[in-house]
Amino acid sequence: MSKLRVQSFAISIDGYGAGPDQSLQNPLGVRGGELMEWFFPTRMWRKMQGHDDGETGVDNGIAERGFDGIGAWILGRNMFGPVRGPWPDESWKGWWGDEPSYHAPVFVLTHHARPPLKMAGGTVFHFVTEGIHVALERAIDAADGRDVRLGGGVSTVRQYLRARLIDELHLAVSPVLLGSGENLWNGMDMPSLGYECADHVFGERATHIFLRRRLDAAPAV
């Protein structure tokens, strides 16, 4: 059965998954890039940028495993881009250039309909206006037995957590304090939602926390 997995989701010590005021210049919000400093030196990230170098330690191994067995993705509209409100036109095609590294169907949650967007290398962005359950059903169908990766951002992860639909959540906790932005934990009672810490691993630049939904915790309908 397909799992819904969050992988390599970076947060600050104080729980922020993005800084405030996202823009073209600051895709992760102001100071949000600091959350990803554990990832940038890895071989995985360097490969995504078209380079054949990078570190191969603990952080890299965990980042690489996050791509194993993934058949489809779900993203929130703000992770897809900084455009808000009705799409002014179809010129925005994501942050990732002509050939995004998803290489799979990607279901983007939005309130604003838009036709599917086919990119080079197998990525197709589908814009889903019917909510998180429909996005998950479509992603599971597209994944064809493999897992679905929930890429973020914060609001999207929080919705799926509240619905108890995430099976596994890997957080890369970066040693920074942001103080403002999009907070993952604000008002979340994770034990009551059925989550427990399965493991933690110290990487070179981040502490990796592996949460999972307890077997007795059924998804909320």
Residues that bind ligand NAP (CB under 6 A): 9-10, 17-18, 22, 27-29, 32, 35, 76-79, 84, 109-112, 131-132, 151-156, 159, 182
- Shortest-Cβ-distance residue relative to ligand NAP: 153
Q: Which is nearer to ligand NAP, 155 or 207 (CB)?
A: 155
Nearest distance, CB of residue 87 and ligand NAP, angstroms: 9
CB of 145 to ligand NAP, least distance (A): 25
**Distance of alpha carbon 117 from alpha carbon 126, whole angstroms:** 7
**How far apart are alpha carbons 175 and 14 in whole angstroms?**
10
Measured from the CB atom, is 5 or 144 closer to ligand NAP?
A: 5
Cβ neighbours of residue 74 under 8 Å, at least 6 residues apart? 4, 106, 107, 108, 109, 135, 136, 139, 148, 149, 150, 151, 156, 160
CB of 189 to ligand NAP, least distance (A): 19
Cα(73)–Cα(92) distance, integer angstroms: 19
Residue 24 Cβ vs ligand NAP, minimum distance, rounded to whole Å:
12
Q: How far apart are CA 48 and CA 123, in angstroms?
A: 14
CA 60 to centroid of chain Cα atoms: 17
Of 29 and 94, nearer to ligand NAP (C-beta) is: 29
